[in-house]
Structure 1
Amino acid sequence: MNRSGITRKLVWAVVALCVCVLIFAILAYRPAIATVTRPDPRLFDPALVVRGANLARLGNCVSCHQSASGRPYAGGYPVKTPFGTIYGSNITPDPATGIGAWSPTAFRRAMREGVGRDGSHLYPAFPYTHYANVTESDLGALYAFLMTRPAVRSVPPANTMIPPLGFRPLLAGWKLLFVRPQRITPDANQSAAWNRGRDIGETLAHCTACHSPRGLFQQEKRGAQAYDGGWSGGWYAPPINAHSPAVQAWTVERLDAYFRTGLSTAHAAAAGPMGSVTYNLARAAPTDVRALATYYAWQMRDAPAARLEPPLPDRQALASQGHPDGAQLYEGACAVCHEPGAAMMVAGRPALPLGTPLHEDNPRDTIQIVLKGLHPPVSPRGPYMPAFADALDDRQVAEIVAYLQMRHGTGPAWKNLEKDVAKARKEGE
C-alpha cells in the first residue's frame, strides 16, 4: 500500500475516533439543575415526613450515609470496591455540603438516573439501578423526610478510585451497558403482602445488591442468578433463593422475627452488614417488614431446608481427631457459651449447627464472626459475642474454623483457611 493510502486510512480512523468521542460526550452530558432555597421544614406535611422516615428505614439509607463517628445522613461511610473506595455523600439539607439546595426534580433525577444536581454521574454504589422503580409518591415522601433532618455541614472524604475511573463521564458508558430498569407490576396470582414485599425488596431495600453475584464490571447478575449470593463489606451474603444453604427452612414467621429482632432461634443472629439492616427494619412499619418476610420466604420456598429439616449430627469426636488444636482452642475460648447447657444456650440463642455460615460454600462469614465478634444488631439486650482478632493469630482462627466446620458443617471442607483469615483481617482494617 502506498503512503497516500496509509494516510487516508489514518485520517478516517481519526475521524471515526472523533465521531465516537462526540457521540459519547453527547450521551454522557447531563445539564446541571438550578439550585433552590432550602425548603422550610414546616411546610412539609407531617404525615408525609413520617412515611418518608419509614421508607428510609426500609432502604437502610443511614448505613451508607453516616460514618462511624459522624452524624446521621451526613455521609462519610466508606464503600470498598475492587476499583477503589467510594464514600457516602452528605444527604442532610445543608445547602453547601448536602442536598439542601436540591429541588424535587434534582432529587428525583439522582434517584432514578444516578445523576447529581450538578450533572455529574453517580457511582452505582448508590443503588439507583433499584431506585429507578420507586414510585413518584414514595420519592416525594423521601424528599420530605430528608429535607426535615437537621442540616449538617460536613464534607466526606474524596473517593479514591483507580485511574481512569475517577473520570465520572465514563459512568455513562457503564449505565448504557448495564442499566435496564424494568417496571414492577403487581402479580394478580400473589397476595397483597407478597406484592408489597417484592416492591420494597426489589426497589428501596435493594436486596439483590448484596445477595447477588457481580460481573467483571461490578454489575449485578440478574435473571436466573439473582439472589445466588454475593459480597458486601468483606462479608458473604448467602443465597436467598432455592440455593439457600440454611439448614432449617426460612418461613414467613422466622424471617419476620429475624428482621424485627436480628435473631432467629432456628438460624442465627444478624451479623456484618445485615446487622444494620435489621436495626432499621426493627424500626420500620411492621406490615412492611411482614411483607418483606412473605416475599423472601417465597423466594426460598424450594431450598433444600424447605423440603426437609433433618437432625444435624454432632461429629465432635471426629472433629477433635482431625483438628486437635482447633478443638483445644474452642474448648478454651468458645465452649463456655456455645456448648449445650451453657447460659447463653439456656437463654434461647440458636445452637451453632443451625448457623448458616457453617454451611456456606466459603468460610468468610465464620471467619469474620470469630475475628470481629457480634454486637447486638437491634437492641442492647440482643446477642453478643466478643471479638478474637487481637487474642488469636491467623493460624489459631483457622484451626477453630476448621474444627467447627468439620464438627457442624454440611458441605465440603474449606481449604487454605489461614490465607482466608489473613485476607479477611486485612479487609477489616
Structure 2
Amino acid sequence: MLKSRTLWISVGVLAVLGLIAAVALMWRPAIAPIKRPTSFDTAQLQRGARVVEAGDCAVCHTRPGGEYLAGGLPLVTPFGTLYSTNITPDAQTGIGEWSLPAFERAMREGIARDGHFLYPAFPYVHYRRMSSEDIADAYAYLMSGPAVHAPARQNQMNFPMNIRPLVSFWNLLFLHGEPLTPLAEHSAAWNRGRYLVDGPGHCAGCHSPLNLIGAEKSSEYLKGGSVDGWEAPALVGLGQRANPWNREQLVGYLRADVVNGHGTPAGPMRPGSLSLARLPASEAEAIADYLLSLQNPHAVSETTAQRSPSSPADHSSGALLFSSACAGCHAPAAPMREIDGRPGLQSTSALQAASSRNFLKTVLE
C-alpha cells in the first residue's frame, strides 16, 4: 500500500513538473513599451536602409497597392494563410513602442514585444545569425520612417497551428545557430556573401526543401525547394551544370538583369533581385563568389535527364505557337534581341531545368 501511494505521488510530481516545464516553454514576458525614438545618426540610417533592403523586408511587409512596410500581404503556407504585419513606427498598429531589445528579441527568437510567438514564416531562424550592429541599424531605419496606421489582418491558420504557443516546440527543435563569424580561410568577399545568403537574405528559406512541419532540411542546404507554386532551384553546383553559370552572369541575374544564356528572375525571385539591384554591386558580387564556391558532389545534367521525348506532332504545334506568340521578341532575328538583350528562350535556365514548372508559370502569369 505504501509503495502504491509513493508511486502515485511520484507520478503526480512528475506531471506537475511537466506542466510547469510546458508553461515555461510556451510563455514569454512582454517587454515594456517605450516612446518612439526619433534621433538617429545619418550614417546609421543609411546602413539600416541597406540592411532592410538586403533582408527583403518590403517584399513581405508591403502588399500590392499598400503603404510601404505597413503589412497586409497574404502568405500562403501548407498550414494556412498568414498576413504580414505592420513594421512602420505606428504606436498602435506597428512597432512604434518597441525598444531595441524588443526588436532584437523578435529578430533572434521570434517573440513579439507583447510576448506572443511569431510564426516561422518570419525568417527569424536566419535573422538570428545577423550581427547586433546590423539589427540595430535596421531598427533605426524602421523607426525613422513614416508611421502608418494599419491594423493587422486576421490570420487563417489551420488547427493546431492556430494555437501560437505551440510554435515554442517548433523553436525547441529548429531554432539554433549563432551570429555568423568570418572564416579565416576565405576572402572577405566570400565571407560577406555567406553572411548575406545565410543571414539577412535567408536564401535557404526558399532554396532548401522543407520537412513536414515547415523547417528546412539542414542536410539538403540550398539543394532546391518550392514557393508559391514555383521551383526555387538548387544553388549548389551552379558552375557544374550543362548550362553553367559564371560570375558575371550570376551577378547580373541577382541584380535583375537579362542574362544571356539564363534569362531574368521571375516569380518570387523577382522582387528579391530588384532589392539587390538597389544595393552596391559589391553585395551581389559577394553572393556570387559564395554561391559559385558551393559544389554539388552529385551533379547531374539538368537538361533532359527527367524528360520524356516529345513527338513530331508536339514539335509541329510547338513551332507554330512559338512563331505566332514568341518569335516577335525571342527569335534569332527579332529586333528586341538587339534592343534590350532579350534572350533566346531555348537557352534560358527555366527551359534547361528538369521541370518545366517555372517556364509555364512565367508564360501563364
- Matches of 2:24 and 2:152 in 1, distance apart? 30
- SS class of match (1:57): helix
Q: Is the 8 Å Cα contact of residues 131 and 179 (structure 2) preserved in structure 1?
A: no
8 Å CA contact 1:211, 1:228 repeated in 2? yes
Deviation at 1:246, TM superposition (A): 5.5
In angstroms, what is the RMSD of aligned CA positions? 2.9
- Structure 1 CA distance for aligned equivalents of residues 27 and 324 of structure 2: 61
1:148 aligns to 2:141 (yes or no): no
Instruction: Work out the CA distance in 1 between the residues paired with 2:311 and 2:143.
Output: 56
What TM-score does the superposition give when structure 1 sets the normalisation length? 0.77
| 2:302/2:354 contact within 8 Å kept | no
SS of residue paired to 2:322: helix
- Structure 1, residues 122-144: CA drift from partner, whole Å, max 9, x if none? 00100000011111111110001
Match of 1:256 in 2: 251
AA aligned opposite 1:52: G
The equivalent of 1:335 in structure 2 is: 327
- Tell me if structure 2 keeps the 8 A contact 1:33–1:119: yes
Change (3 A) 1:300 1:88: farther
Distance in 2 between the 1:230 and 1:178 partners?
18
User: Which of 276, 281, 285 does residue 281 from structure 1 map onto?
Assistant: 276
Q: Report the TM-score, using the length of structure 2 for normalisation.
A: 0.90
1:243 shift after superposition: 7.0
Aligned length: 359
Measured at CA, do residues 235 and 346 of structure 1 come closer, stay the same or move farther in structure 2, by a change above 3 Å?
Answer: same
Contact 2:243/2:352 (8 A) holds in 1:
no
CA contact (8 A) 2:61 2:84 kept: yes
Uncovered stretches (5+) of structure 2, i.e. residues with no partner:
none
Alignment partner of 1:356 out of 336, 341, 349: 349
Q: Secondary structure at the match of 1:340?
A: coil
Give the superposition deviation at 1:319.
5.6
Q: Percent identity?
A: 40
Distance in 1 of aligned mates of 2:286 and 2:297:
19
Consecutive unaligned residues in structure 1, runs of 5 or more: 373-429
Corresponding residue to 1:268 among 242, 263, 268: 263
Mapped partners of 2:214, 2:63: distance in 1 = 23
For the residues of structure 1 that align with 2:291 and 2:184, how far apart are their CA atoms?
18
Match of 2:257, as an amino acid?
G
**Conservation of the 8 A alpha-carbon contact between 1:319 and 1:327:** no
- 2:175 aligned partner: 179
Aligned partners of 2:82, 2:262: CA distance in 1, in Å?
Answer: 33
1:304 CA drift (Å): 5.8
Q: Deviations over 1:216-236 (max 9, x none)?
A: 00100113x101101112211
Give the secondary-structure state (helix, strand or coil) at the position aligned to 1:80: strand
The 3 A distance-change label for structure 1 pair 117 and 346 is: same
SS of residue paired to 2:162: coil
Match of 1:100 in 2: 96
Q: Cα offset for 1:248?
A: 2.9
The answer (yes or no) to whether the contact 1:57–1:281 under 8 Å persists in 2 is yes
Q: What is the letter of the counterpart of residue 287 of structure 2?
A: L
Please list the CA deviations of residues 261-303 of structure 1 after superposition, one character each: whole Å capped at 9, or x if unmatched.
3321231111001110111111112222221121112225879
- SS of aligned partner of 1:31: coil
- Counterpart CA distance in 1 for 2:68 and 2:100 is 21
Change (3 A) 1:85 1:244: farther
Q: Which residue of 1 aligns with 2:108?
A: 112
SS in 2 for 1:85: strand
Following superposition of structure 1 onto structure 2, how do residues 170-209 of structure 1 map, counting pairs within 5 Å?
170-209=166-205
Please state if 1:222 is matched with 2:218: yes
Contact 1:37–1:101 (CA<8 Å) still a contact in 2? yes
For residue 142 of structure 1, give the secondary structure of its aligned residue in structure 2. Answer: helix
In structure 2, distance between residues paired with 1:169 and 1:29: 7
Q: CA deviation at 1:346?
A: 2.9
Q: Would the alpha carbon gap of residues 254 and 115 (structure 1) be closer, same or farther in structure 2, given more than 3 Å must change?
A: same
Aligned partner of 2:290 in structure 1 is: 295
Q: Does 1:128 align with 2:121?
A: no
